[in-house]
Structure 1
Amino acid sequence: MGYGVCVGKYQVGRTIGEGTFAKVKVAVNTDTGQNVAIKILDKKMVLENKLMQQVKREISAMKLLHHPNIVRIYEVIATKTKIYIVMEYVSGGQLSDKMSYLRMLSEKEARKFFQQLIDAVDYCHSRGIYHRDLKPENLLIDSKGNLKVSDFGLSALRKPGDMLSTACGSPSYVAPEVIIHKKYEGAAADVWSCGVVLFELLAGFLPFEDRNTTNLYRKISRAQYTCPEWFTTGQRKLISRLLQPMPRRRVKVSEILEDEWFRVDYEPATGIPNEEVANLDDVYEAFDSIGGKLTEATKAKSPSFINAFQLIAMSNDLDLSGLFEEQKTKLCSIHSITETIEKIEVAAKDVSLSVERTNSSKVKLHPPKKLTRSISHIAVSAEVIEVTPTHCMIEISKSAGEIRVYKEFCKSLSSILKGKSGSST
């Protein structure tokens, strides 16, 4: 395999995939010799489509995922023009490639892949993360013949129209409620897509096909499909529950896990680490400086590569004024935004600061009026950014005032978030 340019410690090789916003290349870690896949995003395209905040949030969500049937993200690197997402390399290729020459799978193999798919979907849904584009092209096979789901959470990197086309040019895997542009629940939409995948694995063809797009939409919205004669009763029953056109009546993942056909030879995924707070610094540091103007002097001194997504938004609208007087701290929270704000209020009270809510996710901290003489002026703000419904990143900034009070507040909040303070709620 020929390798060319180096990105950090990774030597980049051939292209193995390409999409709307990104290319995927195989690369090798020059420190360890490990093969990796690198998804390369064009930063200009992401910015022009106003997707920076969504990409930031979704990449952060993906870094929280640690499951044997989900492709891992190792780290993120950025240059002035590109974003590099370093991921696990899955050598067996796409499930769609396997289907192209086998047409249909045996019941045993189809069930195994479907079980692993549902395991991955269940894990992600329990963390508030949805795929929204499940199809064989996004399902990879590793060297041991196990399924791994790619691109979980990266819906921002697909244009709205992309959901209406697959490799064969049809919206065959998309739920009815998505096609008619209704507000939809990500979990139910993913379950429908899983149903289409299962049907295709067992039948060797798609449940919904028609050259006329209008007719195809009608078939999907009415769930008009015909099972092959070789489908067993158990297969037909489960597929009918998966391909239920009414989202509220569609089977839930928890019910799939109890289905009689599904449970044959079922081995739940193992090796899933306990819930932990992931290190998201390599994602969030990249977005710290979006907002002002970048001076020519700063641009001239900028490094070729910025590890940990440090200055991803390095462009003419970046402002680094006041860099040396401002203090910034990031903390992770395994609580909702509302709960996290409440803990910020408790921490502020611990160090005799008042809290002023500027919106639902941002607060300002300052001394109470009666204490302004005993505590010098301090300007601190804290913004809570939702990664998933139960994981947040807190960005704390001090633009003026005494560093001692700022550090005491950060220390108090850190303890409360870890459940080590008696003052926490």
Structure 2
Amino acid sequence: MDHKGTIVMQKYELGRLLGQGSFAKVYHARCVETGQSVAIKVVDKAKVRKAGIMDHIEREISVMRRVRHPNVVHLYEVMATKSKIYFVMEYARGGELFRKVEANGRLPEDVGRKYFVQLIDAVEFCHGRGVCHRDLKPENILLDEDGGIKVSDFGLSGVAECRGADGLLHTTCGTPAYVAPEIIGRSGYDGAGVDVWSCGVVLFVLLAGYLPFHDTNVMEMYRKISRGEYRFPSWFSPKLKKLISRMLDPNPSSRISIAKIKGSSWFKAGKEGEPVKVTSDGDEARRLLKMNAFDIISLSDGLDLSKLFETESCLDKGCRIMSRKPVAVIVSRLERGARAAKMRVSKKDGGLIELESRDGVLAIEAEISVVTPVLHLVEVRRRYGEAAEYEKVLNEVIRPRLVDKAPSSLLRHQHSLSPSSGARL
């Protein structure tokens, strides 16, 4: 059906179809009030529910709220009716990076490096927020009007909460030609290492114009991936070959890390002459001050995204607690709570605080974000352990110490929203 000209939620006018999949269609759209161009992903609830992947859609929303970065597609808001879910997202005018490679055959090394540097910056940021993409490929990398990249499609992403008791991910997913050998082996894997492998394949494709691993027989292609069997084109420089070979190392334990990629001479050549970008607390505060009502409400403890899908909520989504206390006070209260529950406290990369039981059977993550200079968000998530134990620590130890005694008018207001009945968040 042609939906061009349709007004969604009395706010967005749908335009041309940009793309479609089994469960959703993506349209160019225009905000009726401001004229701003956006992309709207329209998800069919019935199809998603029948396929049993409602949790994937919900996770995608949660992840896109978590990974705010210049090189990641920005999610503006989410709306829902009884039959549809609407993702209102940043519109990338340049289309897929894949189309650019397809049109040019291959990219010049300096151009490919520019895109690769941005990709690694975005992936590193996601990993710091506990998110691995798991489906990185040129089709999921978009271009804006200034030539910058925008990583998109987090539908297959993995988060810390998805890890098993061994601390690893186990879901078999991804695009065959870009998938890491440890996923093919159907054993537990580290999400960060899987993304590094896919980034290596993407880099090869950008500069070669073809895939390193390809065969009409999928099982034969998997065999080549598992053994790391591929050939470099003659025009690849020695430094480029060295970097890609370390990224496409079939052994995940010896595969190069993001930090070492950024330290490689080939990568750093793309950074020469660029100003160093340092994100300070002030920068973060200024960025978050630009958040709209949906941003703030969606981060608050009272919003249950499950209402969008008319399904039961999941403990592993964690909870969100708003606090007007300074960061130092919040951390201090978490530490005191951990001691009361006989748990260890440690600080992780990306500003995460981990609480772990001394017997190692339960681990909880807490992430503090600045919403405004006087308002902070604490996201609490279960990494692993029994749900009952997590609930007990959350409700008896963490929540009482962090929840402000007098709820703000904002939080009181957001409880009146009814997304399942079609109200805009």
Q: Report if TM-score (shorter chain) is over 0.5.
A: yes
- How far the C-alpha of 1:410 sits from its partner, in A, is 3.7
Q: Give deviations 1:48-74, integer Å, cap 9, x for gaps.
A: 444444533441221122211111011
Alignment of 1:335-354 (within 5 A): 339=334, 342=337
Indicate how the Cα distance of structure 1 residues 97 and 206 shifts in structure 2: closer, same or farther if over 3 A, else same. Answer: same
Alignment of 1:22-421 (within 5 A): 22-152=24-154, 154-155=156-157, 163-164=174-175, 171-266=176-271, 267=274, 270=277, 273-274=283-284, 279=295, 281-282=297-298, 288=304, 311-314=307-310, 331-332=321-322, 339=334, 342=337, 386=381, 410-412=403-405
- Residue pair 2:119, 2:151 contacting (<8 A) in 1 also: yes
CA distance in 2, matches of 1:154, 1:286: 26
5+ residue gaps, structure 1, are 165-170, 289-308, 319-328, 347-358, 363-383, 396-405, 416-425
Q: Give deviations 1:330-374, integer Å, cap 9, x for gaps.
A: 6248999x959937989xxxxxxxxxxxx9799xxxxxxxxxxxx
> What amino acid sits opposite 1:139 in the alignment?
I
Indicate how the Cα distance of structure 1 residues 268 and 332 shifts in structure 2: closer, same or farther if over 3 A, else same. Answer: farther
CA distance in 1, matches of 2:104, 2:308: 43
Decide which moves more: 240-249 or 19-28. 19-28
Indicate how the Cα distance of structure 1 residues 409 and 104 shifts in structure 2: closer, same or farther if over 3 A, else same. Answer: closer
SS across alignment from 1:172: helix
CA distance in 1, matches of 2:5, 2:264: 47
SS across alignment from 2:142: strand
- Residue pair 2:172, 2:184 contacting (<8 A) in 1 also: no
CA distance in 2, matches of 1:343, 1:51: 35
CA distance in 1, matches of 2:70, 2:402: 39
- Residue pair 1:128, 1:388 contacting (<8 A) in 2 also: no
What percentage of residue pairs aligned between the two structures are identical?
43
CA distance in 2, matches of 1:251, 1:179: 19
Q: Count the aligned residue pairs.
A: 330
Question: Which of 6, 9, 15 does residue 8 from structure 2 map onto?
Answer: 6
Decide which moves more: 138-147 or 54-63. 54-63
> What amino acid sits opposite 1:233 in the alignment?
P
- How far the C-alpha of 1:281 sits from its partner, in A, is 3.0
- How far the C-alpha of 1:210 sits from its partner, in A, is 1.0
5+ residue gaps, structure 2, are 159-170, 314-318, 342-360, 365-378, 385-389, 392-398, 409-425
Partner of 1:377: none
CA distance in 2, matches of 1:285, 1:47: 25
CA distance in 2, matches of 1:46, 1:57: 13
> What amino acid sits opposite 1:386 in the alignment?
R
Indicate how the Cα distance of structure 1 residues 235 and 110 shifts in structure 2: closer, same or farther if over 3 A, else same. Answer: same
- Residue pair 1:24, 1:39 contacting (<8 A) in 2 also: yes
SS across alignment from 1:263: helix
More helix by share: 2
CA distance in 1, matches of 2:188, 2:32: 46
Indicate how the Cα distance of structure 1 residues 14 and 286 shifts in structure 2: closer, same or farther if over 3 A, else same. Answer: farther
- Residue pair 1:12, 1:28 contacting (<8 A) in 2 also: yes
Indicate how the Cα distance of structure 1 residues 188 and 73 shifts in structure 2: closer, same or farther if over 3 A, else same. Answer: same
CA distance in 1, matches of 2:94, 2:222: 33
